């Protein structure tokens, strides 16, 4: 068991439907600790850069536009196997394939408007956490 950090984004479809508290409750109930969290409205450059790994995919432009359609809540989480654990709490990317009780099964509207993002591996987690947080804005407690 390793203690890991991971990045969560509560996406615009969820913030606009007042689901922030419910989603954070799923995270805390799973035993994941919130080290830092904030709401922001992504700029076009931030959305493009954050999802640059998908820039050749047909859905990239729509994804960037969607991620700028409302505010997001970015949260740094910590816990044992936090990366995989949060992916389990989120459920599959496509809500149609998500397991019962997961955030995406409960709240996602579609493959694109799937309510949450979570880092998929240790390297991406580190890059994604530092995309939004510096060390001074994360608390160990």
Which spans of this chain sit near ligand CMP (rule: CB under 6 A)? 54, 59, 63, 93, 111-112, 114, 117
CA distance 37 to 102: 21
Q: Is 26 a catalytic residue?
A: no
CA distance 51 to 47: 6
- Smallest separation (angstroms) from ligand CMP to the CB of 42: 12
When the beta carbons of 62 and 139 are compared against ligand CMP, the nearer one is 62
Nearer to ligand CMP by Cβ, of 94 and 139: the residue is 94
Q: Which of 117, 118, 125, 133 is catalytic?
A: 117
Chain position whose Cβ is nearest to ligand CMP: 117
Nearer to ligand CMP, 103 or 135 (CB): 103
CB of 45 to ligand CMP, least distance (A): 17
Give the Cα separation of 125 and 118 in Å (integer).
Answer: 8
- Least separation in angstroms between residue 93's CB and ligand CMP is 5
Q: Helix/strand/coil (H, E, C) string of 54-105?
A: HCCCCCHHHHHHHHCCCCEEEEEEEEECHHHHHHHHHCCCCHHHCCCCCHHH
The C-alpha atoms of residue 90 and residue 118 are separated, in whole angstroms, by: 8
- List active site positions: 117
């Amino acid at each position: 068991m390793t203690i890991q950090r991971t990045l969560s984004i509560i996406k615009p479809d969820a913030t606009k439907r007042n689901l922030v508290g419910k989603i954070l409750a799923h995270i805390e109930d799973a035993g994941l600790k919130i080290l830092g969290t904030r709401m922001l409205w992504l700029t076009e450059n931030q959305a493009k850069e954050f999802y640059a790994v998908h820039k050749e995919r047909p859905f990239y432009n729509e994804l960037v536009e969607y991620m700028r359609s409302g505010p997001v809540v970015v949260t740094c989480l910590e816990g044992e196997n936090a990366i995989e654990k949060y992916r389990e709490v989120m459920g599959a990317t496509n809500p149609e394939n998500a397991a019962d009780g997961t955030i995406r099964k409960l709240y996602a509207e579609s493959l694109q408007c799937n309510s949450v993002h979570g880092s998929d591996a240790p390297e991406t987690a580190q890059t994604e956490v530092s995309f939004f947080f510096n060390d001074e804005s994360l608390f160990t407690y």
